[in-house]
Structure 1
Amino acid sequence: MYTEDGLNEDLGSSVFYHYTDSAGLIGILASESIRMTHIRYLNDEKEFTYFMEIFNREFQKSYRQLDKERVDKCTEILDVLKNVKNSTQLYIASFCEDGDQLSQWRGYANGSGYSLGFAVKDLIELMGISYDEVMKAKASTDVVAPNDNGIMLRKVIYDPEVVKEKISKLVNLLMELVCNSESSQDEETNFIFEMLSASSICKHPSFKEEKEWRLIAIEDVHEPYRVKLRSGPRGVVPYIEVPLLSMRDQFLLNKIVIGPSQHQQEQKNGIELYMRTNRKQMVNIDVSASPFRG
């Protein structure tokens, strides 16, 4: 699991929220799992392009000092990255620090929006590592090795300067790789993995209001999960389901916020009826305070 600046002791008692529509709510409550969408089917198709545009600008500043052999080596590695990006099965579930955010509700203007709250500690321990272990590792490094199911929790970066700094480090890593005649295939593979994971959390600053965190799962290490399909605006959308159960098989859902609509009380009653008659663990159900009505 990877951590970014911001995952600290203060977040230990925090709740992250996953926004969804009525179909998503029904699916999550029934399966007690989170749906992680294939990265190529996310709403913002330009994320990877945005990241690579900045990377290429920074790379141009460095590659001029290389001879042709090393330039060719850089090109080879970046070509591999492009092919891997197109073929790797990277799945993402998005969370927000705010459970009643106006900009998020605007995406559910038909009155069928919900935010589902999960304790940060539960999301971390879901990945097979205790929150205390993460904090201990954080004291010495920003990286905690992924566990067996390969799921990472990452904070999305919106600050252009921070994105540029992260990319500069990756450019330097690439330079070291191609200038070191003894660099191994494993080191090249690690670079490609770092590029992929970084590109999945760097977004344009216009999205900063989202305050997004992401659960990320990668193909090679999530073999237990079967790919499923759901309906989306552009047709079918591939996703995987990751169980949201504690070590005692308790559903980790902490809270439900019902988005702005004319029928909030009816929706609350319906959810409570479902939870009670299906012997689901009861959770706090609130209604949005936002005046937005679509």
Structure 2
Amino acid sequence: MEKTRTYFLNALKKGDTLFHYTSAEGLLGILGGEFWITESQFLNDVTEFHVATDVLMEVLERNIKDINKKETLKRATNGQIKRFNDSDGSFYENPESYEHLGYYVISFCLDKDSILMWSEYSDFCGYCIEFDFDKLIHSFSGSITIKHGKVIYNHEEQVAILEKIIEDIVFKSNELYNDINSWDDFDKININQVRRLSITLALVIPIYNMFFKKECFSGENEYRVIFVCNHDEKSSMYCSNTRETQYFRIKDNVLIPFIKQKLTSLDSVKSILIGPKNNSDIVEKGVKHFLCYHKIKAQVEKSEMPLRF
């Protein structure tokens, strides 16, 4: 299994911690040694996995002066991204010829005892699990490709990253784009170079779609772990050839696809924080009994958030 960070994205390192806010049911499943991980198209944010594509179009609009070359490259790149990565399309019409991939996301937070996270994920009554980052990443089992990194919310930072990627692809590749050495030279790009660049960008941009979000979500301070799964038995250019089982659960009368990912060890669990409205006199005892029974060495704490109701 590949456990990797992504170019230009900030990854946590050994010794760092991260937090996962969840319900009692989620806590029971995770401490039981298994994550249920939702497919990216079914997350709460409707702009998920599209932000980097929009930023790329803005980068091309900002930097390429020749209108015809700019529009040609934008159309070609949009077409290639849709062709390679839009699972809402031809898979359902012709499943035998389409590579059925899934991107599954676990959202962690870099903040402990966050009022926003308590509100969003557990109505202040859930639990916050603190993990040792390095131990957690290396406890995921199987052969699924993993990518992980801090979510980037700042728009200008997103623009700068994609500009740098294009500059590295084009300006430093003398063999493929030998007459294009700056953004001003894009008026010289030929149709073969447009096609080649559009294919390259279509392979790169989906990675950044995983980690770019709108600035309005910055309060989440999210760290993402993404599993790239192949649901076919045929070879895949994106991830392991191992066929991953897809499951379904029901939420608000909608069928939600997910995968199950086993943890080889629970040594990564450092502490359990009990939500600020979870005031039962036996809630702490219940968690401690569970940890003791499963021999999980983790601290149990109560949120310090002073909520009255």
- After TM superposition, the score normalised by the length of structure 2 is 0.73
Q: Secondary structure at the match of 1:281?
A: coil
Distance change >3 Å, CA 109–CA 252, structure 1 → 2: closer
The 1:117/1:224 distance shift into structure 2, 3 A limit, reads: farther
Which deviates more from structure 2 when the two are superposed, residues 13-22 or residues 42-51? Answer: 42-51
2:230 is equivalent to residue 214 of structure 1:
no
How many angstroms apart in 1 are the aligned matches of 2:48 and 2:295? 37
State the one-letter code of the partner of 2:112. Answer: G
Whole-angstrom CA distance in 2 between matches of 1:109 and 1:281 = 23
Residue 109 of structure 1: how far off its partner (Å): 5.7
Deviation at 1:152, TM superposition (A): 1.1
User: Is 1:198 aligned with 2:200?
Assistant: no
Deviation at 1:81, TM superposition (A): 0.9
Residue 233 (structure 1) shift: 4.1
Find 2:148's aligned residue among 149, 153, 162: 153
Provide the residue aligned with 1:29 in structure 2.
Answer: 31
Cα displacement string for residues 116-168 of structure 1 (whole angstroms, at most 9, x for unaligned residues) = 1211121343479xxxxxxxxxxxxxxxxxx9531011110112221111232
Deviates more, 1:169-178 or 1:154-163: 169-178
Question: What do you get for the CA RMSD once the two structures are aligned?
Answer: 3.4
Q: Quote how far apart the aligned CAs of 1:214 are.
A: 0.4
Q: Tell me if structure 1 keeps the 8 A contact 2:140–2:264.
A: no
Counterpart of 2:258 (choices 212, 228, 239) is 239
Question: 5+ residue gaps in structure 2?
Answer: 88-100, 178-188, 231-238
Distance change >3 Å, CA 112–CA 76, structure 1 → 2 = same
More helix by share: 1
Please name the residue that 2:133 is paired with. 120
Say which of 228, 251, 259 aligns to 2:275.
259
Alpha-carbon distance, 1:231 to partner? 3.2
Alpha-carbon shift at residue 285 of structure 1 (Å): 1.5
Match in the other structure for 1:228: 247
Deviation at 1:184, TM superposition (A): 12
The match for 1:7 among 11, 15, 29 is: 11
For 1:98 and 1:186, how far apart are their aligned partners in 2? 42
Given the superposition, is the C-alpha separation of residues 164 and 244 from structure 1 closer, same or farther in structure 2, using an over 3 Å criterion?
same
Shift of 1:234: 5.8
Return the index of the structure with the highest Cα Rg: 2
Matched, 1:106 2:108: no
Instruction: State whether residues 18 and 132 of structure 2, in contact with CA within 8 Å, keep that contact through their aligned partners in structure 1.
Output: yes
- What letter is aligned with 1:288? S
- The 3 A distance-change label for structure 1 pair 72 and 116 is same
Shift of 1:212: 0.9
Query: Number of matched residues?
Result: 268
Alignment of 1:68-83 (within 5 A): 72=72, 74-83=74-83
Aligned counterpart, 1:283: 298
Shift of 1:265: 4.2
Superposed CA offset, 1:193-222 (max 9, x none): 320110111112222222211001113425
Give, in whole Å, the separation in 1 of the partners of 2:195 and 2:264: 37
Shift in Å, 1:100: 0.9
1:46 is matched with which residue? 47
Take 1:291 and 1:64, find their aligned partners in 2: how far apart are those partners? 56
- The amino acid of 2:146's aligned partner reads I
Q: Partner letter of residue 28 of structure 1? A: I
Q: Given the superposition, is the C-alpha separation of residues 7 and 65 from structure 1 closer, same or farther in structure 2, using an over 3 Å criterion? A: same
Spell out, residue by residue over 1:240-278, the C-alpha distance to the aligned partner (whole angstroms, 9 max, x if none): 1222224xxx5532221111114254222122223334x
Q: Specify which of 251, 270, 285 is matched with residue 269 of structure 1.
A: 285
| 3-state SS in 2 of match to 1:12 | coil
Provide the C-alpha distance between the structure 2 equivalents of 1:190 and 1:264, rounded to a whole number of angstroms: 55
| Identity score, percent | 22
